[in-house]
Amino acid sequence: MKSINLGILGMGTVASGLISIIEFNNTKIVGNIDKQLVISKVLVKDISKKRSVNLPADTYTTDAYEIINNKDIQIIVELIGGINPAYEYIRNALNNKKHVVTANKALLATHGEELEQLAHINGVRLMYEASVGGGIPIINTITENLSANEFEHIAGIINGTTNYILTQMTENGLEYEQAVKEAQRLGFAEADPSSDVDGDDAAYKIAILSSIAFDQRISVSDIPKEGITKISKEDIIYAKELGYNIKLLASASKSNNEIELRVHPAFVPSDHPLSTVKNEFNAVFLKGNAVGEIMLYGKGAGSLPTGSAVLNDIVSIVKNESRKYAESINADKYKIVNRAYKKYYIRFEVIDKPGVLARIASVFGKNNISLDSVVQRQKNGNNTAPLVFITHDIERKNIDNALKEISNFDCVIQIASIIVVEDF
Amino acid sequence: MKSINLGILGMGTVASGLISIIEFNNTKIVGNIDKQLVISKVLVKDISKKRSVNLPADTYTTDAYEIINNKDIQIIVELIGGINPAYEYIRNALNNKKHVVTANKALLATHGEELEQLAHINGVRLMYEASVGGGIPIINTITENLSANEFEHIAGIINGTTNYILTQMTENGLEYEQAVKEAQRLGFAEADPSSDVDGDDAAYKIAILSSIAFDQRISVSDIPKEGITKISKEDIIYAKELGYNIKLLASASKSNNEIELRVHPAFVPSDHPLSTVKNEFNAVFLKGNAVGEIMLYGKGAGSLPTGSAVLNDIVSIVKNESRKYAESINADKYKIVNRAYKKYYIRFEVIDKPGVLARIASVFGKNNISLDSVVQRQKNGNNTAPLVFITHDIERKNIDNALKEISNFDCVIQIASIIVVEDF
């Protein structure tokens, strides 16, 4: 039987998951591709380190070019992450006419278009299913399974760390800081969690998804983002009472010739499928103009799920399935706009005295903001009271104008939260 | 540009959806396959009938063999449904070396293996994404996207009619008969709804899914089935109180060398993703040994969603993607068992007098059935009372033995319900 030789750059959790699956599902894989996958070379930092996987000692190398320039290796799997030196390694691998599989979302969101063109020029493939949604086959679903659809809307819970934090706040009443600590303790959050909680990770991923769904290269800088650091226990409680869960959504929508993108916390109706996506799970909700509403749910991270996605790309390359190439991606097919025409949840802390509600409501009216609901509660201990509004659909700039005026009122202690309410 | 000529057998809702999508997404499709899809011929019963789609009059024919024997047609799309004459048409089409796309679940669940082999012998493809789950790309996900996984468990809500009925009973408090009438009024149920409500339709579909997931041809006759006709409003209310929703599940599980299959109503935990699958929506929940838990959710029927699935098969054929052929399906790789080792919800109607609970519990104990919870309520008007048990995991035969003895008790008016409780 013919062998396919793999060179793996990096030996972290995804690489060890990949190597394990190739071992324990070998029969299934061989039955599928009729070839034997062989791990030829693995790039590591320290050859002497003890590994959880069982490979011959001479498989390991500390020289990336022993893999990239290796004539016997057909597929290079890049799992070191980060832009440099992964960028250089992948360019050289593609120029050496090797297929490349990567899980590197930061690199793809930054240099994806160039690398896809390089792959095309060299007649090889660049695959990256594992870069978004871990084990969930979302990229292949968009580019292959639903390729005859024009996509209108994508809304993803594609950052497991923030979803874990928000779930813990919702289900166990934790404050934000406590939930972050718990996530760190369990390994779901980094010591410095900022790239997750500020929305950067989700922005990379929605840049990749929207580029392939809309056939237009979307840059991370096109994506307004807001993280979850300002979400308080109070907001979570109000959301629940009003029939919602707060989720960090990465969303992209297309209508006529405009695309709008955003990473932001949002109220998601509790009976919507995205609301049952808890803890470290991910999901992507799509609307296609033929298939209608579709959602894919699964593990967004982890050694085996992410290894499964990498392996699927390898299998797809070996089966030599044809695929649309990136040169069809249009740089400016659609205009990118930022209107945020949505419903909004706005929570104020106000002085508890007559006329406050009327004054605020009047400013909303002046800015064409009509209201869906108002919740006025008992006062806090210090003669202040929370006041919560949910608006009807309106552009964000109207909200900002109104809040600018309202923030000057003596009776308004603070504008505590502004969160989008998604109705789907 | 090269054309691909399609011959369509049947001109119902799915065919008109397919034809519409080919028209309104033509740019996207051509960008993808670099060929023009052309509807060459369509088999209809009545040529003079007015159609919602706009095709030249000479496209229509009443003679299937004008399509099947047509030298210019490369792909035949069978959308007439039912076993005969679809079976004969498809065999002849494959023998004429035409690729075949079908949505015919009854035919596939009955003659699928033979037809797949016939396709292989003739070097053409037989594709059937639309046969299960409408627009949801579940077949391709199992055979392609997650093909490096060994699947351990499949649980699907794959019959929209029963899911609509159960959702209406749950959310609007309808009785079973009322919900059926409502489903019929909206076109979600046939005048004779038996193939849906008795579980036959779901059994066909899980036979197809489990065959491809486990690489073993599963016959519909291997699948014990129980429909939803006995589900009462009381059961729905108890399920809700206990934190569950009742769903008709089509399930298949594999452990060691055994496969177990079943179509049955089940208690699904209300925070499980399958619980948010409402009304006519479908979903399939999978466990793979690498990817872990995955769920796909979407529209299980309808003109455009199902047309989208048919079109995806056509695109996949045109792109000439390789695919595992059916001859690898093993007739008896795994032993098919029927143990139903599960938790059970059992509802009795009993005479309201002391000692009844103790007598019933003692029979459970004798049959090794341990209890998770018991709900005893106020009596009904006529001196009887409902008595509800949820057991721990136990084989169904132990339940049946115990109930046989209990059914003879004077104090037991009736064993009103026995429903599996799924914990996932």
Token digits for A214?
């809309």
Of the residues A127, A161, A192, the one at which a domain ends: A127
User: Which residue type does A205 have?
Assistant: K
Residue among B355, B392, B399, B352 at smallest CA distance from B372: B392
Domain identity same for A225 and A368: no
pLDDT digits (tens, 9 = 90+) for B388-412: 999 999 999 999 999 999 999 999 9
Examine the pLDDT at A378 and tell me if it is beyond 80.
no
pLDDT digits (tens, 9 = 90+) for A334-375: 899 999 999 999 999 999 988 999 999 999 999 999 999 999
pLDDT digits (tens, 9 = 90+) for B202-261: 999 999 999 999 988 898 998 999 999 999 999 999 999 999 999 999 999 999 889 999
CA distance B98 to B318: 12
Q: Which chain B residues are Cβ-neighbours of A424 within 8 angstroms?
A: none
Domain identity same for A156 and A288: yes
CA distance B93 to B71: 11
Check residue B376 and give its pLDDT.
87
Task: Supply the mean pLDDT for chain A.
Answer: 94
CATH number at residue B349: 3.30.70.260
**Is B405 part of any domain?**
yes
| Mutant choice from B149, B157, B313, B323 vs A, greatest count of A C-beta within 10 A | B149
pLDDT digits (tens, 9 = 90+) for A125-156: 999 999 999 999 999 999 999 999 999 999 99
Interface of A with B in 212-231 (CB under 8 A): 215
CATH number at residue B275: 3.30.360.10
Provide mean pLDDT across the span B340-365.
95
Examine the pLDDT at A331 and tell me if it is beyond 70.
no
Domain identity same for B31 and B70: yes
Q: Residue B48: which domain range?
A: 3-127
Examine the pLDDT at B107 and tell me if it is beyond 90.
yes
B287 falls in which pLDDT band (50, 70, 90)?
very high
**Is A71 part of any domain?**
yes
Domain identity same for B213 and B295: yes
CB-based contact B321 A319, cutoff 8 Å: yes
Provide mean pLDDT across the span B22-49.
95
Provide mean pLDDT across the span A199-223.
94
**Is B305 part of any domain?**
no
User: A410 CA to chain B: closest CA distance, Å?
Assistant: 44
Domain identity same for B120 and B214: no
Number of domains in chain B: 3
pTM equals 0.94
Provide mean pLDDT across the span B167-175.
96
Of the residues A127, A150, A178, the one at which a domain ends: A127
DSSP string, B336-347: EE----BEEEEE
CB atoms within 10 A of CB A151: 23
B323 falls in which pLDDT band (50, 70, 90)?
low
Assess contact for B234 and B347: CB atoms under 8 A: yes
**Is B213 part of any domain?**
yes
Of the residues B299, B328, B359, the one at which a domain ends: B299
CA distance B266 to B421: 6
**Is A245 part of any domain?**
yes
Sorted by sequence, the CB contacts under 8 Å of residue A414 that are 6+ apart come out as A348, A349
Annotated active-site residue A366? The verdict is: no
**Is B27 part of any domain?**
yes
Token digits for A115?
């690398």
Domain identity same for B233 and B348: no
pLDDT digits (tens, 9 = 90+) for A84-116: 999 999 999 999 999 999 999 999 999 999 999
Helix axes A105-121, A200-214, angle to 10 degrees: 30
pLDDT digits (tens, 9 = 90+) for A64-82: 999 999 999 999 999 999 9
Domain identity same for B295 and B349: no
Domain identity same for B123 and B7: yes
Domain identity same for B115 and B49: yes
- ipTM above 0.95? no
- Phi then psi for A298, rounded to 5 degrees? 175, -170
Least confident of A318-322, B263-267, B408-412: A318-322
CA distance A283 to A334: 26
Domain identity same for A123 and A167: no
Examine the pLDDT at A396 and tell me if it is beyond 90.
yes
Examine the pLDDT at B324 and tell me if it is beyond 70.
no
In chain B, the N- to C-terminal Cα span, in Å, equals 51
Examine the pLDDT at A325 and tell me if it is beyond 50.
no
Domain identity same for A116 and A143: no
**Is B313 part of any domain?**
no
Q: CB of A288 within 8 Å of any CB in chain B?
A: yes
Q: Which chain A residues are Cβ-neighbours of B31 within 8 angstroms?
A: 215, 324, 328
**Is B24 part of any domain?**
yes
Check residue A405 and give its pLDDT.
97
Q: What's the distance, CA A35 to chain centroid?
A: 34
Domain identity same for A148 and A294: yes
CA distance B273 to B297: 9
CA distance B154 to B205: 12
